[in-house]
Structure 1
Amino acid sequence: MKIDYKILWIEDQPSEVEFHVEAIRRKLGELGFNLDLDSRLTISNDDLQALEGRLEIYNPYDLIIFDYDLGKDQTNGAEIAHSLRRLIYTDMIFYSSKPAEDMRKALFDLRVDGVYIVTRTDLHRDGSDIIEDQLKRICDLNNMRGVVLDEMSKLDKKLRLLLVRKFRALDHSQKDTQVQRTTKRFNKRAEACKKQADEMSHENFIAAVEDPLAMEYGCVRDRLDSMEVLKGLPNGLLDVLNKMQKLRNELAHQEATLKEEDGRIYLENSTQYKDGFGHAQFMEIRKELRQLATAIEALSQ
């Protein structure tokens, strides 16, 4: 899982479901996700066979939504469900203006299981509820480790590109200042490493091993801070950036434990999430990561 939620949506009259698409987009935003929509107007038998071939190699979709009636000479929704269910177990939503009993019979006749059936008028509401329930089932701390590590790696790259751009815009004297400060920082790191090496003993060996430092990232942040670039972040987001980097380090290095009594997951020695993680915390983290990505991209404009 990532913060982009990818939906394959097959509908021959997209203007008729635009309201439902935007409602689901808003719901995903509330849950901390971006909607990545792959919209198809039609899907012929040849298209379906090609899609089957791709999905057999790699399935990028978190959800598949399709109409029952895709127009004359097109594969109907029940046949789509039958073909795709043989290959993947991605959640599917099957909708129509027809009675739900007719859609259930169409799926039953083709022996298709595990497909949600909703009416066209209720698609925005039922679709949002299905997505929220799905995300509650699959979003755990191991999943969130991957989300945070991946998104923070992307943010790290954005910050480096931002620093390069700002550095190139400096005059010669200002560039000298940044180079001198960076040299000073590297020298201090070298001195600290030499001091640690000189003082290494049985007593402090374990402490040294247990102290993971993101020095390279810290150097980038130090330079951006000295140039006051990150002051352009909206109120509170600099603190969020610091919090996410700290969370990234905790997720990478601390052990997680599930407490049965409250159903929450706890990170050993976490200073930021002492009350543990649940659905609300995961949702908050995803929202903050999205806000950071948008704000840092804006600084580069």
Structure 2
Amino acid sequence: MKLNYKIIWVEDKIDTRPFLSLIDSVKNHLENEFFNVNIDTAEDFDEFKEKYEDSQTYDLIITDLNLNESHGSEVIDFIRDEKHILTEIFFYSANSELSTTKLANSSRITFYQLDGQSYHKELQNSIIEVIDLTIAKFQNIVTMRGMIMQETSSLDLKMEEIVRKQLINPNLEEHITPLLNTIFDNIFANAKEKYERAEERKVKEILRDNVLFNSSQKIFALGAILEIMKEENFAPNYKQDVIEVRNKFAHSELLKNEEGKEYFKVKGEEVYFDKDLCKKIRRDLNDYIKKINAIENKINPTE
């Protein structure tokens, strides 16, 4: 799971008002957890199979037992027996046969028996419980570290492309020249320091070195370019909200206190790793993805 959460919902009444309302509620819940949500729908097994073959990347499959001329068990058997994938599945029905339905594999399936007049509300609550469970499974240090590294690397590439294009944009030459002079001064200062360190011929010093035009230089350049473009300069906050968080996850050790709660030790401060931190990380990453995409679209309006 990354910043995206994909669901496919198989239900022969999916286009009716109660189910459209259910879909909206589920989508709103995930968006409040700062996921980018995509909910595909299908009315029977054949439509499900066609859509699944096109995508094949879902975090949750929701299916009714009775699907017109087909059956919800076909959906499950296709996923488990033919595709051999253990995607989380929510399997529901008002039919008492649900619990006795034979399946190729019953692991990671939530069975839900519809009951009572307000079953749509009960169904909604039960689906959201399963979604929260799937989110919780992925809110561990290894998965979050991988997601942060991937999304931050993607943002770094976008940011670098914006900087590269604008530094050679002839329409901005008057404003870019002072910026380039500052960049070259910074690079010269770094290069001079590196040269002096290299002269000492100390292996440990050289092994710690970074590329001259490093991440800090790119963020500085991006901020200056945003101001030249008269856009919000989010570069300083990006450094704090994304780069520093990435560095914490990359280089800080995960520890546990006496109560078993996980935390990072960062400059003597205990930063607790919990669902609130994960939610904030998703929110911040999504916020900067939107900001950087908006700048990209202004620079490349026809792409």
Return 5+ residue gaps in structure 1 as ranges: none
Alignment of 1:1-301 (within 5 A): 1-16=1-16, 17-44=19-46, 48=49, 60-72=57-69, 75-86=70-81, 87-96=84-93, 98-99=94-95, 101-106=96-101, 109-110=102-103, 112-114=105-107, 115-118=109-112, 119=114, 121=120, 122-167=122-167, 168=169, 170-199=171-200, 201=202, 205=204, 215-229=213-227, 232-233=231-232, 238-257=236-255, 259=256, 261-267=258-264, 269-271=265-267, 274-300=270-296, 301=298
- Matching residue's letter, 1:154: S
Report % sequence identity: 21
- Matching residue's letter, 1:29: E
Residue deviations 1:235-259, cap 9 Å, x none? x8842542320121232233333x1
Q: How far apart are the structure 1 equivalents of 2:128 and 2:202?
A: 58
Return 5+ residue gaps in structure 2 as ranges: 299-303
Q: 1:294 to 1:250 in 2, by over 3 A?
A: same
Q: Give 3-state SS (helix, strand or coil) of 1:274's partner.
A: strand
Relative contact order (C-alpha < 8 Å, sep 6+): which is higher?
Answer: 1
- Matching residue's letter, 1:286: R
The answer as to whether partners of 1:266 and 1:274 remain within 8 angstroms in 2 is yes
Q: 1:111 to 1:221 in 2, by over 3 A?
A: closer
Counterpart in 1 of 2:301?
none
Q: How far apart are the structure 1 equivalents of 2:212 and 2:147?
A: 18
The answer as to whether partners of 2:65 and 2:92 remain within 8 angstroms in 1 is yes
Q: How far apart are the structure 1 equivalents of 2:262 and 2:225?
A: 39
Residue deviations 1:2-44, cap 9 Å, x none? 1111222223443232212221111112223111333334332
1:69 is displaced (CA, Å) by 2.3
Q: 1:9 to 1:247 in 2, by over 3 A?
A: same
Q: Give 3-state SS (helix, strand or coil) of 1:8's partner.
A: strand
The answer as to whether partners of 2:45 and 2:72 remain within 8 angstroms in 1 is no
Aligned pair count reads 284
- Matching residue's letter, 2:274: G
1:210 is displaced (CA, Å) by 6.1
Q: 1:241 to 1:143 in 2, by over 3 A?
A: same
Q: TM-score, normalised by structure 2?
A: 0.79
- Matching residue's letter, 1:287: R
CA RMSD, Structure 1 to Structure 2 (Å): 3.3
Q: How far apart are the structure 2 equivalents of 1:44 and 1:178?
A: 59
Q: TM-score, normalised by structure 1?
A: 0.79
Q: How far apart are the structure 1 equivalents of 2:4 and 2:191?
A: 40
Q: 1:124 to 1:79 in 2, by over 3 A?
A: same
Q: How far apart are the structure 2 equivalents of 1:242 and 1:50?
A: 40
1:260 is displaced (CA, Å) by 6.0
Q: 1:201 to 1:175 in 2, by over 3 A?
A: closer
Q: How far apart are the structure 2 equivalents of 1:155 and 1:32?
A: 17
1:81 is displaced (CA, Å) by 1.6
1:70 is displaced (CA, Å) by 2.0
- Matching residue's letter, 1:113: S
Q: How far apart are the structure 2 equivalents of 1:123 and 1:214?
A: 56
Q: How far apart are the structure 2 equivalents of 1:285 and 1:260?
A: 22
